[in-house]
């Protein structure tokens, strides 16, 4: 089983993000991660000594989809 898992992690598959701010975006994932994070930079009103602020959006794998393109649905409840 460990060999199967290791081999699967190397396979890249196409996935589509469904809903939310990145809806429709196509990405390549390996290992079918349960969660994909999308970030967008936020504009700071004043310089902040190297601090960066980003809006975080979470997409969760739809396990019902077994073939490419995989589907990740926007999770409104995450952070």
pLDDT digits (tens, 9 = 90+) for 27-69: 999 999 999 999 999 999 987 788 999 999 999 999 999 999 9
Query: How many CA atoms, within 13 angstroms, populate the side-chain half-sphere of residue 19?
Result: 12
Rounded mean pLDDT, 17-34: 97
Please answer whether residues 36 and 59 qualify as being in contact, where contact means their C-beta atoms are separated by less than 8 angstroms.
Answer: yes
Query: Residue 3 pLDDT more than 70?
Result: no
At 75 the three-state DSSP class reads coil
Spatial distance between the Cα atoms of 79 and 76, rounded to a whole number of angstroms: 8
User: Measuring CA to CA, which residue among 42, 38, 47 is closest to residue 74?
Assistant: 38
User: So what's the pLDDT on residue 1?
Assistant: 46
């Amino acid at each position: 089983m460990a060999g199967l898992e290791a081999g699967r992690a190397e396979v890249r598959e196409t996935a589509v993000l469904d809903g939310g701010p990145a809806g429709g975006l196509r990405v390549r994932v390996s290992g079918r991660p349960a969660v994909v994070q999308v970030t967008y930079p936020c504009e700071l009103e004043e310089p902040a000594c190297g601090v960066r602020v980003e809006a975080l959006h979470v997409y969760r794998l739809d396990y019902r989809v077994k073939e490419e393109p995989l589907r990740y649905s926007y999770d409104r409840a995450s952070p």
